[in-house]
């Protein structure tokens, strides 16, 4: 985490430093981005940088913490739904808001996977959101209860995480994929989740011997 001197900088200066770092990590990867180039682009010396961060990994952690905070902020807290219709409506709204955020903030999209998994504590925040979602769906009878709750939460979160990676790959594709119809990518994700959550009428049915 940043050192106390960083927290005493004006908020605008903090955001400027983190935005520069975020752009470099997004463009070059969390392993390959140059710490020296980041601090040079942020406008301070290597000596000054160590007044704010213990080093490259400390700066990266601060960037990824910020990315995950924004992802969770886009999703918003999961509130108890009154019925099945409201459950699906809220899920659709949360997914649409997250998708819009990632589309408008490509650096966050590029770093989403790293942000979700970079520490056990952060991963716990991500899983907690899906834990609330799955528990509410099970209460309403729209999510299967024949699979261990924690396993279902973990797999659900993994599907969404994989969808983010897929979206990033599509964004970086050369040549780019055809322009999707409005909401098409999100619709495919929800179809996957419905199949995962449903005990009947899905690829995951017990006794489905035709799947290959």
Residue 31 corresponds to which tokens in the numbers above? Answer: 């392993």
Instruction: For residues 58 and 84, state if they share a domain.
Output: no
Residue 203 lies in a domain: no
pLDDT: is 59 or 181 the higher one? 59
The answer to whether 127 and 135 are in contact (CB under 8 A) is no
pLDDT at 203 over 50: no
The verdict on 88 and 106 lying in the same domain is: yes
Give the residue, 76 or 200, on which the prediction is more confident: 76
Considering the domain architecture, whether residues 72 and 45 belong to the same structural domain is answered as: no
Of the listed ranges 4-13, 143-152, 202-211, the least confidently predicted one is: 202-211
pLDDT tens readout for residues 98-145: 888 988 999 998 999 899 887 666 678 889 999 999 999 999 999 999
Q: Are 71 and 162 in the same domain?
A: yes
Asked if residue 132 and residue 116 are part of one domain, the reply reads yes
125 within some domain: yes
Residue 208 domain-assigned (yes or no): no
Show the tokens assigned to 141. Answer: 């009878």
Query: 49-70 b/e with 16+ CB inside 10 Å = b?
Result: beebbeebebbbbbbbbbbbeb
CA distance 59 to 52: 9
Q: Is the pLDDT of residue 56 over 60?
A: yes
Q: Is the pLDDT of residue 209 over 80?
A: no
pLDDT the model gives residue 205: 45
Q: What is the predicted pLDDT for the residue at 2?
A: 82
Model confidence at 27: pLDDT above 60 = yes
Together in a domain, 92 and 184: yes
Same domain, yes or no, for 99 and 120? yes
Least confident interval from 47-51, 60-64, 76-80: 47-51
Residue 173 lies in a domain: yes
Tens-place pLDDT, residues 143-196: 999 999 999 999 998 888 888 778 777 766 655 555 554 455 566 777 888 889
CA torsion 33-36-37-39 (nearest 10°) is: 110
Residue 154 domain-assigned? yes
Residues 33 and 129 placed together within one structural domain of the fold = no
Q: How many domains are contained in the chain?
A: 2
Structure tokens at 59: 């700066």
Read off φ and ψ for residue 119, nearest 5 degrees: -145, 155
Same domain, 78 and 182: yes
Q: How far apart are CA 190 and CA 99, in angstroms?
A: 12
pTM of the model: 0.81
- Is the same domain home to 101 and 192? yes
Tell how far CA 40 is from the center of its chain: 29
Distances (CA, A) of 197 to 106, 144, 157, 206: 30, 5, 12, 13
- How many angstroms separate the CA atoms of 46 and 37, rounded? 10
| Residue 178, domain CATH | 1.10.357
- Cβ distance 71 to 111 under 8 Å? no
Task: Decide which of 4 and 63 is more confident.
Answer: 63
40 lies in a domain?
yes
Q: Say if residue 56 is in the same domain as residue 85.
A: no
Q: Cis ω on the peptide bond leading into residue 38 (within 30° of 0)?
A: no
pLDDT for 33: 95
Report the distance separating Cα 52 and Cα 130, nearest Å.
34
90 in a structural domain? yes
Q: Which domain holds residue 23?
A: 4-63
Each residue of 61-73: pLDDT tens digit? 999 999 999 999 9
State residue 121's pLDDT score.
Answer: 64
């Amino acid at each position: 985490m940043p050192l106390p001197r960083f927290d005493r900088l004006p908020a605008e200066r903090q955001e400027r430093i983190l935005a520069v770092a975020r752009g470099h990590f997004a463009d070059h990867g969390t392993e390959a981005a140059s710490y020296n180039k980041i601090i040079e682009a942020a406008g301070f010396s290597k000596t000054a940088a160590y007044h704010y961060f213990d080093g490259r990994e400390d700066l990266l952690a601060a960037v990824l913490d910020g990315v995950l905070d924004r992802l969770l902020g886009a999703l918003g807290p999961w509130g108890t739904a009154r019925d099945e219709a409201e459950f699906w409506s809220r899920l659709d709204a949360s997914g649409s808001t997250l998708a819009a955020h990632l589309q408008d903030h490509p650096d966050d999209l590029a770093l989403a996977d790293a942000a979700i998994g970079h520490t056990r504590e952060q991963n716990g925040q991500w899983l907690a959101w899906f834990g609330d979602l799955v528990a509410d769906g099970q209460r309403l009878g729209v999510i299967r209860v024949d699979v261990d709750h924690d396993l279902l939460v973990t797999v659900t979160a993994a599907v969404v995480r994989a969808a983010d990676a897929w979206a990033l790959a599509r964004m970086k594709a050369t040549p780019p994929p055809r322009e999707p119809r409005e909401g098409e990518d999100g619709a495919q994700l929800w179809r996957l989740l419905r199949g995962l959550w449903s005990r009947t009428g899905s690829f995951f049915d017990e006794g489905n011997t035709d799947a290959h």
